[in-house]
Amino acid sequence: MNKDETLRALHLRRSPDDPLVLPGPWDAASARVFADAGFPALATPSAGVAASLGYADGATPPDEMFAAVARIVRAVDVPVSADVEDGYGLPPAELVERLLETGAVGCNLEDSSDGVLKDPREHADRLAEVRSAAAGRLFVNARVDTFLRGVTDPGEAVERAALYVAAGADCVYPIGAPVELLPRLRSGIRGPLNVLARLDGDGPSPGELGALGATRITFGPGLQKWSARALHGMAEELRKR
């Protein structure tokens, strides 16, 4: 089974108590750690990669992002999905070509740019073009940014999700959705549902999120930030010696 087929298969027939947990590596070293721990696939976070390269979230030049993804892919044997933000304004065919050149077999694409939600129908058309150009070689995770941009009505997220699924998106990611709305989103969205998990101990566990409707769990830049805090603590200890 090819890596793209493996990633797709990992999303299918998940039981509610067993969502797919995808850690987010920000460089080759962190990718090896997660793969060696036994995770079957990985999903890069754009913000985490940006931090590792010295950029603010959203400010990474496309060439550097694709190069970072390629290094991560080369470091591990498991499938890797890449967060490529809103696609950097690249034509769909070029975006797909550059993703495939990195070795990634999946991607995140956001439906907002510069903090503003895109027209959902125009974005759906773009997703359809990406899907067509990929010809099944990329698992497309369509991020829905309504909650992130202050639109609290779950109906808006469901409507956008329906357009994206109809356009060929393999998974939908309503980032920032309140936990209490997950059952509503699950009932209204066809196909796999990606949910962002917190690492501060105050949010539901991956298993609890699965019971609420999550098919797939990601962490955004949470693991990179967690690692940075741990490293900060070690640095403080070193200064005391």
Residues across the chain: 241
- pTM reported for the whole predicted model: 0.96
What's the token pair of residue 53? 């390269």
DSSP sequence for 69-94? HHHHHHH-SS-EEEE-TT-TT--HHH
Question: Are the CB atoms for 182 and 207 separated by under 8 Å?
Answer: no
**Does the structure show a pLDDT above 80 at 162?**
yes
What's the token pair of residue 134? 């990929």
**Does the structure show a pLDDT above 90 at 130?**
yes
**Does the structure show a pLDDT above 90 at 61?**
yes
pLDDT of amino acid 203: 84
Weakest-pLDDT range from 14-18, 141-145, 185-189: 14-18
Average pLDDT rounded to a whole number, residues 178-185 = 97
93 vs 64: CA distance, rounded Å: 19
Banded pLDDT at 200 (limits 50, 70, 90):
confident
Cα torsion angle, 95, 99, 13, 207, sign? negative
80 vs 31: CA distance, rounded Å: 9
Average pLDDT rounded to a whole number, residues 79-86 = 98
Banded pLDDT at 241 (limits 50, 70, 90):
confident
